[in-house]
Structure formats: C-alpha cells, structure tokens
Structure 1
Amino acid sequence: MIVPNHVLEMLQRVRELYFRQGREERMLPSDAALSRFRGAQSASAESIRGLWEALRGQGHAPSESEAVLADPETLATAECYSTNIENMIGTVKLPVGVVGPLRVRGLHADGDFHLPLATTEAALVASYARGAWAATRAGGISTAVLYEGVLRTPAFVFESLLDAGRFVEWAVSHVERLKAAAEATTSHGKLVSLEPVIDNNVVFLLCRYTTGEAAGQNMVTIATEALGKAAVAECPTKPLRWYVEGNFSGDKKATSLGTITGRGRKVSASVILPPEVVRSVLRTDIDAMLDYGRVAGLGALLSGQFGAQAHYANALAAFYIATGQDAACVAESAVGFTRMERREGGIFCSVTMPNILVGTVGGGTRLPSQRAALNLVGLEGPGSAAALAEVTAALCLCGEISIVAAMAAGHFASAHDKLARKR
C-alpha cells in the first residue's frame, strides 16, 4: 500500500470528528459579541484584584483558582514583579529540590555547591544528585568558560546586491562609530565583534556582545537598535527597511551557528570517574556505560540532533526556573556534546555546551524566590555569571553521568516506577 496504515487511520479519526453534529459549523469563524479584556502593565494588589474581577465578569475565574494564585503573600509583594510581567494575576508555586554537594573546580567556579532545581518531574532531582555525588567522590568537576558573547543580528534590506555591498563597505569602515552608538546604551555591555553576512540584497550584521554579570538579552537588543539607527542615519546607502533582529542569531532556538560559534557562554566540563565510584554509586561498570554511549551516539547521529547529548534540558529548565533565568533560552542552551571515553584512571566524562545563557543580575534574578535560590548557590559580584555558567555545565554533566549509568544498568524504568508512581 502506498499510503501507510497509520496515516489512513488518522484521516479516519479526523473525518469522524469533523462530521459529528455541529463540528463543521463550530470550526467556522465566529462574530459572536465579546468584551475586550483590559490588562495591566504594572503589578499591585489592586491591579491583581481588578483583573480577577474582570475575569469573573467574563465567566473565567473559579474562586479556588484566585485563592491559590493570588494568595496573601503574592498580593503583599506584587509590586516587585512589575518589571517582569504584564497582566499579573498571581504566582505559581513549584516544588524546589536541592542537588549537592557538587564539587566544581573551574576557572571561575571553585567550591562545593548546592543547586536548587524547580521541577514537577519525579526522579529528576534524585538522578542529578546521584551524578553529583559520583563526580564529587571522584574529586570534582573541572570547568572552563571557553568563549563569551551574546549575539544579536540586525537585518538590512536593500534594493540590490550592489547597495548591500556598499552598506557593508561603509559599516566595516565605521565600526568604531557603530560600537560607540551601541555601547552608549549600557554601562555593562561591550560590542566585541561585528561580522557582516550578505545574502544578495539582504545584509545581516552578526553583533556579539559581552554583558557583564547579566544574561543580557534585553541589553543587547537595546544596544543593537541604537547601532542600527546610527547605521541607517549616517550611511549614504539607505536600506529599504531594517529589523533589529533578522532571526539569524539563534535566540531561543537550536541552530548550527550556535553549535559552532556559541551564544552566551561556551563552557566545557569534565571528570574522570574511577571504577570503584562507578560500581558503588552508579551501580554499573565502565564497559556497560561505554557500550550504551556508543548506541546513544548513533541514535543522536541518525536522528539529526544538534550536538549529541542525553538530556541537558532537564537540568537547564529546572535550574533556570529556580534561579530566575529566561527559561525559553533552554531551547538554545540544550545544545552540546557529551563524551565518554576510557582513561587510565577510569571513565572520562565531559560536556561542552556552547550556548549557556545565565546571569546573576537582571531579569528574573531580582524576584524574591529566585534571589533566594541564587543566594543558596552563593555566587555574586564580579565574575559570578561566568562561575554560574560553569556550575550549570557541571550540573548537566551530572545528569549525563546518571542517565547513561541508569540506561546501561537497566535501572531507568524501574527508578521512574519507584519514584514517580509508588511513593
């Protein structure tokens, strides 16, 4: 049969649903009257109560939902969320577990860390804690920030390829003027690289910034807007139109560019686990881990992964949410390469992650719970963001160690059954 059975079965299910009574009409556009929902740009107890009243007026406000989301503590501290959200109606509580002690011996991070993870996935914290204990028993994880720079890529559209070339010639000749325009918007950001890319009549400028102790997403956006405005105002060759981001930078996306050049901080972390630690902590052996690693590497290759790794996103999402990072950056941060090799002292395990976007100031890091979680990590002041990036990579390595060991030993399903179903 040319059309696979599963496709025919899916079409049959859709057809049955569509022709049920009223389904055809229900899927047509509707001009039924409705009242517009008025939001609130800043947050206060009064604005939260007002939004719940508006929701009740539209029939979408169960009293039990309001009581949980807009609890007394949230109402009392509502103003502190004003710079982080619009239309605020409350807060969501997530369980936070702790992993540690995790010993990190890095260029920036040095110490025994306890790391908070906000998650609803049972077995996750236990798995990372096991990996952390194995790495710490082995003397700790070595880490290094290898490269730094947050990309923003404005795009300029011209009438012709010739005009695009003239613009690029002007831009590279006036790069110091563009750098000054960008850096005038921030006391912390620095434009460290500007690379033009031409696609016929469209020019992308790959603008890479260092951002101090902040993750820097908003910082580089504002700086790049100033850079673009200066270029358009001063260059004799005018674009037809331009955009502050041309979707080239890899912002919150997994890309080949990010895999190669990195966005944020590129970090590598490694540890050698002795055979005794593999046996006593991970309950498996080195040969079994390497055997599974070869199969997992083949699976990554055949499925077309960006990089080759098991589950960076689990640690990143939980750690980012707990510490006030931009959780959407997990999409690009969860790109990288896990390696495991036999060495003289045991099994060498490493991760290299080119797109770790974290900060210790700005964004969600100033909120009460997130600031408390960051305080638990114990990183602040100059160099703290680089140290946090190294700790993040070390945490991801712990997860790779633990999951590979669980798969190799056949414990993966039973662990989830025990911790997720039978507690």
Structure 2
Amino acid sequence: MSIIPQRIVERLKELRATLDEPRVRQRLTEGSGEPNRPALRSPRRVTAASIEALWQKIRAVAPAGDEQQRLLADPDTLASAECYGANIENMIGTVKVPVGVAGPVRINGLNAAGDFVIPLATSEAALVASYARGADIASRAGGIAAVLLTEGVLRSPGFKFANVMEAGLFLEWVIDASAELKVAAEATTRHGKLCAIEPMMDNEVVFLLCRYTTGDASGQNMVTIATEALCRHIETHCPVRPRHWFIEANYSGDKKSTYLALTSGRGRKVTASVTLPRALVEKYLHVSVERFLDYSRMASLGAMLSGQIGAQGHFANGLAAFYIATGQDAACVSESAIGFTRVEDRDGDLFISVTLPNILVGSVGGGTGLPSQAAALHLLGLQGPGKAAALAEVVAALCLCGEISIIGALAAGEFTQAHRKLARER
C-alpha cells in the first residue's frame, strides 16, 4: 500500500498527461526554435529620451501600451529622470507605493532623542495602523530607550590553497601583514575603516571575515571595493599563492539570515525597550499583562520549535516598509529581520525589549538621495551626514512598536478582527 498522499499522486498524473502533449514536450526539450530577441538595454545616462526609447523597444516584446507607459513614466518621473541614473539600469519609470506615517513616537536614545514621525511605504493594509498603535502606547509610557551597541559591515573573501599547510602559512602571513592590509583597504574610501580581520579556516580553504565601520552609509558597496583592494594586495605581496580566491565567498551573511549575523552582527546592532504600565496595557491593548505574557511564552516556544533564527513577531514588516520609504537596500531585510523580542513582568507592569544585530541603514548614499526617499528622511530629521546612528535607533524603536501591537492583538484575540476591518471590509 502506497504511503504517498493521494493529492501528490493526482498531481503527478496531471503533470504526466501534460508532458505527453507533443508541443509541450518539444518546448521543454528543444526550446521554441525561434531566434532570440536582442536584450533590452538603454544608455547609462538616464534621460526622458532614454526612457522613451526603451519603451519603444519594450512594445516589440511585451504587452505594453500607452497606459502602462503613462503610469510608470509619468511627467514628474520624466522631469527628474537624470537623478535616478546612479541607482538603476534600463530605467522605464517609477512605481508609486503608498506611504503612511506612524507616530510621533518618543525615543530616548543614545543618538536619537525626541519625537519622530516615521514614514512607512507599504501596500499591506493594517500595517501602518499597527505600528502607529504601538508608537502611541510606547510614547504614553514615557518613550522608548534605544542604544546603538556595535557596528561593522562584513565582507568575506575566500582563498583556496593546495593543502592545509599552505593555508596555515597564509594565515600566519595575514596576521603579520594586517597593518598593510588595513592601509590597502582604507585607501579606497574616505569614510570606511577596517576594524577587524577574523579568519575562518576549513582545511585548505581560508575565509577572511573583514569587518568595517562605514560612517553614515549603509556601506555595502564601500566594503566590497575596499576588500577588493585588500585581496589585490594579498595577491601581489603574499608569498603563499592561493589556487584561486573570490571577493565574497558566502560567509558574511550578505542578504541572508544566518547564525553568524545573529551572534556577531553584520551592520548596526541596536537594542530598544520600554516598560508599559499595567493600566496602559489594559486600556489600549485590551488585554491583561498576564495574558500578554502567556502569548509571549507560547510564541517563544513556537519560534524555537520551528527553528526561527532569533525569536520575534514581525520585524520584517516594519523594516521592509521603512527601508523602501527611506531608500535603504530592501533586500537587506532578509538579514536585518533577525533578532529577539523579550517580554517580562516588572512588578505588575510590562517590560518589552527588542535586539536587532543587523540593521543595515544609512543616512547618505544608495537610494537615500532620490527625491521621495530624501523627503522621507527629511521628515524624520535624519537626512545627510551624522545621522546614521540615530537612524538605526529609530529603526529598532519602530520594530519595538510593531511587537507591542501585534503581540497585544494576538493576545487579546483581535488580530483577525483588525485585518478584517482594515483590509477586507474597507
């Protein structure tokens, strides 16, 4: 008797029947037989004319008409087209994502101090309302304490040698030449500083985990260019020659959720906390402190049993919306959204904290200079040099607001009701 679920058996039969069709079989095994169309490319310099020219090429290969062009390449986008040139290739327009605000939220941070209105770009109904509710309750409790603990963006070149002995001799040379390597790396940047080289050896393969501070930039490109210079210096001066090496050997955790990122951080590590008086919890979250704690304990068990890296409710929601609104690298949400939410009873009141070891944000560079994104940062009062540390503390405070609200909704049995009211029925 087969133990394969019947739904899988039925799906395989459907798939087999489809594969037996001659046209499908030919397409999967021989291709379409049609000549390839030329790749869509536009000049590196973005202008209204280059956007129009690319749209003309698109019409030959895609179901694109005047309406699609009008919506993506609107007059405002065309008028400011050149400002996007450093941020994108083959530009055909811009996409409008609704932006809402949460706050003002009171933050009593080491670097961020005051009331902040936080812009969030999302198409998910109920998200902004949830973060806004958490911000209101935290502010009524006196505000959120937030502290930037450490920072250090990583790049991890990998080197392969003939054997373990050569790998060991290479490491010995790297240790002796670390001052030279620092000079080589920092020669490529005015703001980046190489603060550590942490080796990881696996027999004949050596990873060099290069950790940088990056000033007020998120620093992804900065550390890549600096590490390339470091590796070229090794290639030129090291007497032990690797068989081959790669600028990034997938050890740094770049745009991935990893235990390395959880324990050692890749970006800015920030912690934030607030103590909510019992009366506020009951009045605004409609739940008792005890019930809130009951949910938190069960959720922590669920996180552990499912293998979650860290234990938290929904950091990714706030991070994605904030990153898109302020011109951060949205793909970094995959690593930024790991960390811990901790909830405790403090003499009958509710203490809640978050710790995020990988907040990758900058107040300069990347997409932060684009028109809408710069406006969002300006709304925060955190645009430009000298603001990245405060920006990271604001992000942690935002995530804390989201945890307060979602745990409260789940503990009070209002989670489904809120989504029905704000999403389906509106």
The one of 303, 310, 317 aligned to 1:314: 317
Answering whether residue 362 of structure 2 is matched by residue 356 of structure 1, we say no
- The 3 A distance-change label for structure 1 pair 413 and 17 is farther
Answering whether residue 13 of structure 2 is matched by residue 15 of structure 1, we say no
Amino acid of the structure 1 residue aligned with 2:120: L
Which SS does the other structure have where 1:342 is aligned? strand
Report the more deviating stretch, 13-22 or 118-127: 13-22
The one of 56, 76, 80 aligned to 2:79: 76
User: Which position in structure 2 is the counterpart of 1:342?
Assistant: 345
User: Which position in structure 1 is the counterpart of 2:198?
Assistant: 195
Answering whether residue 168 of structure 2 is matched by residue 168 of structure 1, we say no
- Offset of 1:59 from its aligned partner? 4.4
Q: Is the 8 A contact 2:364 2:384 kept in 1?
A: no
Answering whether residue 403 of structure 2 is matched by residue 400 of structure 1, we say yes
Amino acid of the structure 1 residue aligned with 2:15: V
User: Which position in structure 1 is the counterpart of 2:389?
Assistant: 386
- Offset of 1:4 from its aligned partner? 3.0
- Offset of 1:241 from its aligned partner? 1.1
In structure 2, C-alpha distance between the alignment counterparts of 1:12 and 1:353, rounded to whole Å: 47
Answering whether residue 55 of structure 2 is matched by residue 52 of structure 1, we say yes
Amino acid of the structure 1 residue aligned with 2:107: V
Answering whether residue 263 of structure 2 is matched by residue 260 of structure 1, we say yes
Which SS does the other structure have where 1:332 is aligned? helix
User: Which position in structure 2 is the counterpart of 1:274?
Assistant: 277
- Offset of 1:149 from its aligned partner? 0.2
Unaligned runs of 5+ in 1: none
In structure 2, C-alpha distance between the alignment counterparts of 1:340 and 1:21, rounded to whole Å: 61
- The 3 A distance-change label for structure 1 pair 78 and 381 is closer
In structure 2, C-alpha distance between the alignment counterparts of 1:59 and 1:401, rounded to whole Å: 45
- Offset of 1:288 from its aligned partner? 1.1
In structure 2, C-alpha distance between the alignment counterparts of 1:301 and 1:57, rounded to whole Å: 52
In structure 1, C-alpha distance between the alignment counterparts of 2:13 and 2:289, rounded to whole Å: 49
In structure 2, C-alpha distance between the alignment counterparts of 1:165 and 1:219, rounded to whole Å: 29
Unaligned runs of 5+ in 2: none
Amino acid of the structure 1 residue aligned with 2:105: L
Amino acid of the structure 1 residue aligned with 2:36: L
Q: Is the 8 A contact 2:364 2:385 kept in 1?
A: no
In structure 1, C-alpha distance between the alignment counterparts of 2:420 and 2:20, rounded to whole Å: 41
1:337-372 superposed Cα distances (whole Å, 9 cap, x missing partner) = 011110025111010000000000000000000000
1:280-313 superposed Cα distances (whole Å, 9 cap, x missing partner) = 2112111111111111111101100000011100
Report the identity percentage.
60
In structure 2, C-alpha distance between the alignment counterparts of 1:301 and 1:203, rounded to whole Å: 32
Amino acid of the structure 2 residue aligned with 1:390: E
The one of 211, 214, 234 aligned to 2:214: 211
Amino acid of the structure 2 residue aligned with 1:273: L
In structure 2, C-alpha distance between the alignment counterparts of 1:96 and 1:67, rounded to whole Å: 21
User: Which position in structure 1 is the counterpart of 2:25?
Assistant: 24
User: Which position in structure 2 is the counterpart of 1:122?
Assistant: 125
User: Which position in structure 2 is the counterpart of 1:66?
Assistant: 69
Structure 2 length normalisation: TM-score? 0.97
Q: Is the 8 A contact 2:102 2:135 kept in 1?
A: yes
In structure 1, C-alpha distance between the alignment counterparts of 2:143 and 2:209, rounded to whole Å: 37
- The 3 A distance-change label for structure 1 pair 419 and 17 is farther
Amino acid of the structure 2 residue aligned with 1:23: V
- For the aligned residues, what is the CA RMSD? 1.3
- Offset of 1:31 from its aligned partner? 3.0
Aligned pairs (5 A) from 1:319-334: 319-334=322-337
User: Which position in structure 2 is the counterpart of 1:222?
Assistant: 225
Q: Is the 8 A contact 2:289 2:348 kept in 1?
A: no
In structure 2, C-alpha distance between the alignment counterparts of 1:242 and 1:192, rounded to whole Å: 22
- Offset of 1:382 from its aligned partner? 5.1
Structure 1 length normalisation: TM-score? 0.97
User: Which position in structure 2 is the counterpart of 1:39?
Assistant: 41
User: Which position in structure 1 is the counterpart of 2:243?
Assistant: 240
- The 3 A distance-change label for structure 1 pair 5 and 290 is farther
Which SS does the other structure have where 1:159 is aligned? coil
